Amino acid sequence: MSQATAQKQTAISLLAWSLMGVLALIWGGSFLSNRAALAEMGFLTTVAFRVGGAAVVLWTYVLWRGLPVPAGGKWLITCVVLGIFNNVVPFCLIVWGQTQIASGLAGILNATTAIFSVLLAAMVYPDERLTLRKSCGVALGLAGVAVTIGPHALAHLDFTSLGQLAILGAAVSYSVSGIYGRTALRGIRPEVASAGMLTVSSAMLIPAALMFEGVPTFHYLPQTWAALAYLALLASAFAYILVFRVLQLVGAGNFGLVTLLIAPVAVVLGAVTYGEALPHTAYLGLALLAAGMLVLDGRLLDRFTR
């Protein structure tokens, strides 16, 4: 049995589902925290606080655990590439996108990460080629995107449409990061890789935030500070450590299911906290995305075809 097949058939234990649920709750809550922070600061400053705070926490954790840190130009290049595609680009696109659209809708569109990952991986890795089942899953997922955005939005492009496209751009960026990291991160602890890429992200975003949005006032409301702390400590530093544990339990093949779990969390939190009301097409799009991911996962189909 190949490694890819073994990963696909790995059973997900109750503990694994619980940890995946915790991760989905944390990342789903990040959309809510983004909106709260945006009430008092720009999107660049919001992201700069997130990556800067998370980098400090993760390096503290790495040093405390005594984890080995690579050296050399190759390691630096890896941190730069991952910092750009896993932090700078997607975080900025998502947070800017949320200045234009509801947090719940952003969560739904973010779920396309798994769909784009399958498509891009098929172009790069021979062992990830598109099968008939994968093609059907991707088609369902893309149909979900089309329904969620709607042809009217694309025909009459405005800032709301651009906000939705920004979230999709973030999903593509996450996918590129995952594909690059598959080979670049071999033998490197995820916590160390996360600390490295967050450091590079901070070096890029802090100067950009100061240049375009000015020096932060630091006179923020308590809920703004709570949102920033949540983004840095929970949604970034703690989440990256938890990812390591979840990957050990479920494997990379099953981990994509987390992105599907995030969407309903973001929708519910947005509705309860801010009274966000999404159009019916958004829920239909989410259903199609869910169907596409279940087809990509394959286990449900296997039960019916045995």
DSSP codes, 1-64: --HHHHHHTPPPPHHHHHHHHHHHHHHHHHHHHHHHHHTTS-HHHHHHHHHHHHHHHHHHHHHH
pLDDT one-digit tens code per residue, 172-217: 999 898 888 878 888 888 889 999 999 999 999 999 999 999 999 9
Q: Is the pLDDT of residue 303 over 60?
A: no
- Rounded to whole angstroms, the Cα distance separating 76 from 69 reads 11
Nearest to 31 by CA among 84, 128, 108: 108
pLDDT for residue 251: 61
Q: Is the pLDDT of residue 121 over 50?
A: yes
- Bigger pLDDT: 160 vs 67: 67
User: Residue 42 is encoded by which pair of tokens?
Assistant: 């720009």
What percent of the chain is modeled with pLDDT above 70? Answer: 88
pLDDT for residue 282: 87
- Rounded to whole angstroms, the Cα distance separating 85 from 89 reads 6
Task: Go through the chain and tell me how many residues it has.
Answer: 306
Per-residue burial over 58-74, b if 16 or more Cβ lie within 10 Å, else e, is bbebbeeeeeeeeeeee
pLDDT for residue 2: 37
Q: Is the pLDDT of residue 170 over 90?
A: yes
Q: What is the mean pLDDT of residues 237-259?
A: 75
- Bigger pLDDT: 1 vs 181: 181
Contact assessment for residue 167 and residue 263, using Cβ atoms and an 8 Å cutoff: no
Q: Is the pLDDT of residue 275 over 80?
A: yes
- Rounded to whole angstroms, the Cα distance separating 205 from 52 reads 9
- Rounded to whole angstroms, the Cα distance separating 61 from 183 reads 24
pLDDT for residue 85: 95
pLDDT for residue 154: 58
Q: What is the mean pLDDT of residues 62-73?
A: 93
- Rounded to whole angstroms, the Cα distance separating 31 from 263 reads 10
- Bigger pLDDT: 276 vs 25: 25
Contact assessment for residue 193 and residue 55, using Cβ atoms and an 8 Å cutoff: no
Q: What is the mean pLDDT of residues 12-17?
A: 78
- Can you give the residue ranges of every domain in the chain? 3-305
